[in-house]
Amino acid sequence: MTPYILLFIVYFTSSIGTTFGDRNRTQPCYGHQANFDMQKVLGSWYVVALIPERGFPKLKRISCYKMDVSETDEAGLRWLMSRKVESPNQEITQKIKGTIVRQRYHSEKPFDIWSRAITGINGCFRQLFSLQTNKTNISDAENLVTYMQLHLMDTNDGAGPYLVQILWGKLISAVIYRKEEGVSMERLEPIHKFVTKLKGYQMPPLICNKLEKEIEPPAFQRP
């Protein structure tokens, strides 16, 4: 499975409404206060595993990939849109408020997802929109309406920290990152227990396969 197909699944699942059980759905991210420190989250991370939902397709191979996290603010994102995007519409620009994080997914077709921090719930973000890095027209952007949460974990195995991205979608429950590639099922146990406690029953994690070579976007697609 190519990194782009997996990335599309990760992106697609974040644009579908949640169907989780009778939990506290009255608050974004179930009101969970994550262990989140912006300065510690910034930078490059590698996907090492994911926790699927029941509808996730059965795959023989799931490719690892790199994801970069950067921070901006509403003024910075509006300025970026004025540079990159032709005729940004009012619906999107009105949602650009507060602290913004950008996640850049490295694949054959790199794309960015911008998310806005939710006040009062640590690590919780509302996803705003996604745009391939080589696109300049706002009509190509995908509006996103769901929440995701970034949670830092150290499982005392000497391999951390781990960044757990909790998704409220239908195919993927969480994506697990490390600063370096590679992980074992044993090391994933504390993370699996954490997600289970937060969201209920979880499928076993799926460990990704290392890429033969790292995919770097062309120069014109880089920040």
User: Does any domain span residue 220?
Assistant: no
Minimal CA–CA distance to 191: which of 39, 53, 49?
49
Q: Which residue has the higher pLDDT, 88 or 113?
A: 113
Residues ≥6 apart with Cβ < 8 Å to 105: 7, 10, 11, 65, 67, 111, 112, 113
User: Does any domain span residue 222?
Assistant: no
User: Does any domain span residue 39?
Assistant: yes
pLDDT tens across 27-83, in order?
999 999 999 999 999 999 999 999 998 878 776 677 778 999 999 766 666 666 665
d(CA 64, CA 106): 10
Q: Say which amino acid occupies 22.
A: D
**Average pLDDT of the residues in 165-187:** 91
Per-residue pLDDT band at 93 (split at 50, 70, 90): low
Q: How far is CA 116 from CA 24, 49, 145, 180, in A?
A: 21, 25, 11, 27
Determine how β-strand 142-143 pairs with β-strand 147-153: unpaired
- Whole-model pTM: value is 0.77
Domain range enclosing 11? 3-215
| Tokens representing residue 182 in the block | 């590679």
CATH number at residue 32: 2.40.128.20
Per-residue pLDDT band at 3 (split at 50, 70, 90): very low
User: Does any domain span residue 221?
Assistant: no
pLDDT tens across 105-138, in order?
887 677 888 898 999 999 999 887 776 666 655 5
User: Does any domain span residue 38?
Assistant: yes
Predicted local distance difference test score (pLDDT) of residue 134: 62
